[in-house]
């Protein structure tokens, strides 16, 4: 299977495989949220950070239950593609999914005012693999009521697009 969308998923898999050994394990999987926390200057023992890591661990558990065919606690590229293209992956009830969105929102909302400002969003540009100008345009697009802030609802759309594109 070499469709374009699978190639994109394999790219995603390779980016996740931090140590390049051809399988993604929990350490690889947690690298992105840890990197984001470091970039935002949130210490890993902060409650927000702990919540984000825990949500990602829950999400990882659901990935394994969906596709770790040989049960070794690590995913090959094939297993990863199977998970990402399964209908269960898209289910809003998948364990960890909602928690990851909520905890990510809380981590990005640096001043805890319940919304994400443009500045707060741009600090996550690197995590979203976007250059700042693109992230700025993206922010404008997501801010559907044009108040210069992303509400939880507006943010959810961003995450959905990020996980389904």
Interface residues with Ca ion (CB under 5 A) are: 17, 19, 21, 28, 109, 111, 113, 143, 145, 147, 149
**E strand map for 5-77:** none
Nearer to Ca ion by C-beta: 11 or 88?
Answer: 11
Smallest distance from Ca ion to CB 103, Å: 15
Residues 61, 163: Cα–Cα separation, whole Å: 17
Smallest distance from Ca ion to CB 108, Å: 8
Smallest distance from Ca ion to CB 93, Å: 27
Tokens of 124: 């996550």
Closest CA to 68 of 23, 35, 28: 23
**E strand map for the chain:** 116-117, 149-150
Angle between helices 47-67 and 31-40 (to 10 degrees): 160
Contact 140, 134 (CB under 8 A): no
Smallest distance from Ca ion to CB 165, Å: 21
Nearer to Ca ion by C-beta: 113 or 137?
Answer: 113
Nearer to Ca ion by C-beta: 88 or 113?
Answer: 113
Residues 9, 95: Cα–Cα separation, whole Å: 21
Smallest distance from Ca ion to CB 119, Å: 9
Tokens of 57: 């661990």
Nearer to Ca ion by C-beta: 11 or 21?
Answer: 21
Nearer to Ca ion by C-beta: 17 or 79?
Answer: 17
């Amino acid at each position: 299977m070499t469709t374009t969308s699978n190639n994109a998923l394999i790219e995603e898999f390779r980016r996740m495989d931090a140590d390049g050994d051809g399988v993604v394990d929990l350490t690889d999987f947690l690298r992105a949220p840890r990197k984001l926390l470091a970039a935002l200057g949130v210490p890993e023992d902060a409650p927000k950070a702990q919540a984000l890591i825990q949500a990602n661990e829950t999400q990882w558990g659901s990935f394994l239950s969906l596709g770790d065919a040989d049960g070794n606690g690590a995913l090959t590229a094939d297993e990863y593609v199977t998970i990402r293209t399964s209908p269960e992956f898209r289910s809003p009830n998948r364990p960890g999914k909602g928690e990851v969105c909520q905890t990510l929102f809380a981590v990005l909302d640096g001043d805890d005012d319940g919304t994400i400002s443009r500045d707060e969003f741009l600090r996550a540009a690197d995590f979203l693999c976007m250059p700042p100008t693109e992230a700025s345009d993206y922010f404008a697009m997501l801010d559907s009521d044009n108040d210069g802030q992303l509400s939880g609802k507006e943010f959810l759309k961003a995450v959905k697009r990020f996980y389904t594109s």
